[in-house]
Amino acid sequence: MKKELKILIGILVLFIVGFAVAAQLYKSANISTSTPASSEVGSVSISSSSVVDERLVRPDSPTLGPENAAVTLVEFLDPECESCRAFFPVVKRILTEYDGRIRLVVRYMPFHSNSVLAAQATEAAGAQGKYWEMQELLFAKQGEWGHNSEPQRELMIKYAKELGLDVEKFQASLSNMLVFQKLERDKQDGVALGVNGTPTFIVNGQKLENLSYDALKVAIDSILQASK
């Protein structure tokens, strides 16, 4: 009986010592892996050292406007998204009103069946200098190709012809795996930034919560006023 008691006491001591060591290791791990700041999306802002954060603006992201503009407007969009199409005139209006003071950066967040194909078509047109023309045309013709379960490749080729593109080069670009990888990377960036719908706008690191012309204008004006 005494032998059994000694064994039980020994096991208990080992358990207590093991628990203490594990607690100390856990505490040390937490201290060593902690960082002073994080880059996460909150309800309204993304903390980062620069507006041109790696996940916000990639070197190959389509941009419109001066690189040194006071305002960088990042839009995560889906060419097949009806809300993106509806808000497109607002984006054009903002770019006109703040010409020279704002830079638009397009990022892709494909959610629909033909979204990837449409984004690839836009990129393929961009390879021939007609990126923005194809983007506008796809929004204008969204009712023809959008919300179809089957790939609308022939319609994309038709639109390329309408824009006067070299169709052979367009089709080759349409199948470019590098473009597909770009779309996947954009989607991953969007997920990391908390983008869960389209369109999503981020103005100088501030996520626009209310999707309207007035809200976008207020956000831009406050940045321009602060930069004076």
Residue 165 has pLDDT above 90, yes or no: yes
What backbone torsions phi and psi does residue 41 show, to the nearest 5 degrees? -85, 125
Express as a percent the part of the chain with pLDDT over 90.
Answer: 73
* pLDDT at res. 228: 80
Q: Please, what is the average pLDDT of the chain?
A: 83
Q: CA 49, CA 107: separation in Å to the nearest integer?
A: 20
Q: CA 49, CA 39: separation in Å to the nearest integer?
A: 9
- pLDDT, tens only, 70-122: 999 999 999 999 999 999 999 999 999 999 999 999 999 999 999 999 999 99
* pLDDT at res. 209: 93
Closest of 60, 64, 211 to residue 133, by C-alpha: 64
Closest of 50, 186, 30, 73 to residue 122, by C-alpha: 186
- pLDDT, tens only, 174-226: 989 999 999 999 999 999 999 999 999 999 999 999 999 999 999 999 999 99
Please give the helix or strand (H or E) that residue 85 lies within, else none. Answer: helix 82-97
**Around 79, how many Cα atoms within 13 Å sit in the side-chain half-sphere?**
27
Q: How confident is the model at residue 54 (pLDDT cuts 50, 70, 90)?
A: confident
Lowest mean pLDDT among 9-23, 34-48, 140-154, 184-198: 34-48
Closest of 172, 165, 93, 108 to residue 133, by C-alpha: 165
What backbone torsions phi and psi does residue 22 show, to the nearest 5 degrees? -60, -40
* pLDDT at res. 50: 54
Q: How many CB atoms lie within 10 A of CB 24?
A: 10
Q: CA 114, CA 152: separation in Å to the nearest integer?
A: 7
Please give the helix or strand (H or E) that residue 31 lies within, else none. Answer: helix 2-33
